[in-house]
Amino acid sequence: MANILEAKKVTKRFGGLVAVNAVDFNIPEKSIVSIIGPNGAGKTTFFNCITGFGRPDEGEIIFEGNPIQRLRPDQITRLGISRTYQNIRLFADMTALENILVGEHSFLHSSWISSVLGLPGVIHEEKTALAEAQRLLDFIGLRGKGDMLARNLPYGAQRRLEIARALATRPKLLLLDEPSAGMNPRESEDLTGFIHRLRDELGITILLIEHHMRVVMGISEAVTVLDYGEKIAEGTPAEIQSNPRVIEAYLGRGAATEGMATAHERFTGIKKSN
């Protein structure tokens, strides 16, 4: 399988702090890949490097064969990378439908003059865009809630709306930053199914940051672990769960020498109750 995204020696510094340190990272096409790591490990910073929010100081990010590390966020989005945010960042005072329509922005081409004149092309384009937004709204199960302000939607619906807005940019690669944060076990189970649907039905490659180990282990085809900005492990979920360095990163040095079995139990156990 070809890689849709390849990160080579990506480094990002904030003053003296090295937030991401020479990380190599590949995402195979149409896969579901996760990044995990303790708080402050540089996961979100790495996301920001990919989406153009913060340019990497060193290294290369190659998306479908083209380097993108010097592009602006809007250009990267137009190439086919979209994301959601750890703390939901919807346009709170716009309606659900408008939020999705903003996501479609780069596929609409009418100039402001033709909009003012109300040319037939514009009217047609708006109609199509609205239909598409409505379809996405149905897809995430918010049919009929289109006219509600985003701020007035329940928490879970806001999470899904954010994904719908990201989908409206027609991404090939979707970056989800802790999508299951604040969800109960049932909701995160639904989410797992939903993410599978994104990949299977829409053919979108998914990169996740996740803290819920149950979600990570259940969904990912490959997991990468960051700690203090460095990649400390990579592999299938099963490999990661038994990797001593990962357990050490999460539970401290003592845990690794304590014996694998108990440590493993504690690792997954603690994460479950998280």
Partner 1 sequence: MKKENFIWNAVKMGLLGGAIAIFICLVGMTEIFSKRDVIEKVITLGQFVLLTTIMAMGFIASRRTSDLFGENRPVMNLTAGLVAGLVTGLILALFVFIGLHVNLRTVFLNASPPLYKLLTFGKGEGNIWPLPLIGAGGGMVGAAFLLLPAIYRGPLTRALLFSFFMALFSGLFRVVMINQKGGIAKAAKYLFGQTGLTWAGTFIFFFTVLIIAFLWNFRGKEIQAGISRLPKRGQLSLRILVFLIILYIAIGLPTVSGPFIAQVIVTVALFILMGLGLNITLGFAGLLDLGFVAFYAIGAYTVGLLTSYGPFGLQHISFWVAVPIAVLVAMMFGAILGLPVLGVRGDYLAIATLGFGEIVRLLAGSDFLAKYFGGPQGIIGIQKPCIGTLAPFVKVDVPRVCNGIELGTVQTIYYVAIASALLIAFVAWRLRESRLGRAWMAIREDEDVAEALGINLIQTKLLAYMLGAAFAGLGGAIFATLIGSIFATSMQLIVSINVVALIVVGGMGSIPGVIVGAIALIGLPELLREVSEFRYLIYGLVLIIMMLARPEGLWPSSAAKRELHHADAENVTAESMV
Interacting residues toward partner 1 by CB under 8 A:
51-53, 72-74, 77-78, 82-83, 85, 89, 91-95, 98, 101-103, 105-106, 108, 110, 112, 115-116, 118, 122, 126, 129, 145, 147-149, 151-154, 156-157, 165-166, 168-169
Instruction: State residue 146 phi and psi, 5-degree precision.
Output: -60, -30
Token pair, residue 87, equals 């703390």
Among residues 207, 235, 238, 204, which one has the least CA distance to residue 222?
235
Measured from the Cβ of residue 240, the count of other Cβ atoms closer than 10 Å reads 24
Which uninterrupted H or E stretch holds 24? strand 17-28
Return the number of the residue (98 or 248) whose C-beta is nearest partner 1.
98
CB 182 → partner 1: shortest distance, Å? 13
CB 147 → partner 1: shortest distance, Å? 7
CB 10 → partner 1: shortest distance, Å? 18
CB 85 → partner 1: shortest distance, Å? 7
Return the number of the residue (21 or 77) whose C-beta is nearest partner 1.
77
Return the number of the residue (155 or 269) whose C-beta is nearest partner 1.
155
CB 15 → partner 1: shortest distance, Å? 21
Among residues 264, 244, 265, which one has the least CA distance to residue 256?
244
CB 162 → partner 1: shortest distance, Å? 9
Signed CA dihedral, 58, 59, 61, 66: sign only: positive
Place of tokens 């922005």: 105
Among residues 215, 162, 151, 208, which one has the least CA distance to residue 184?
215
> Strand 3-14's sheet: what is its strand order?
17-28, 3-14, 58-63, 66-67
Return the number of the residue (73 or 235) whose C-beta is nearest partner 1.
73
Helix ranges (DSSP H) in the chain: 43-51, 73-79, 96-103, 112-117, 120-139, 155-167, 185-202, 213-219, 237-241, 244-251, 253-257, 260-273
Return the number of the residue (140 or 233) whose C-beta is nearest partner 1.
140
Measured from the Cβ of residue 257, the count of other Cβ atoms closer than 10 Å reads 10
Pairing of strands 205-209, 173-177: parallel
Return the number of the residue (157 or 216) whose C-beta is nearest partner 1.
157
Return the number of the residue (92 or 202) whose C-beta is nearest partner 1.
92
CB 55 → partner 1: shortest distance, Å? 13
Q: For the chain, what is the largest distance between any 2 Cα atoms, rounded to a whole number of angstroms?
A: 73
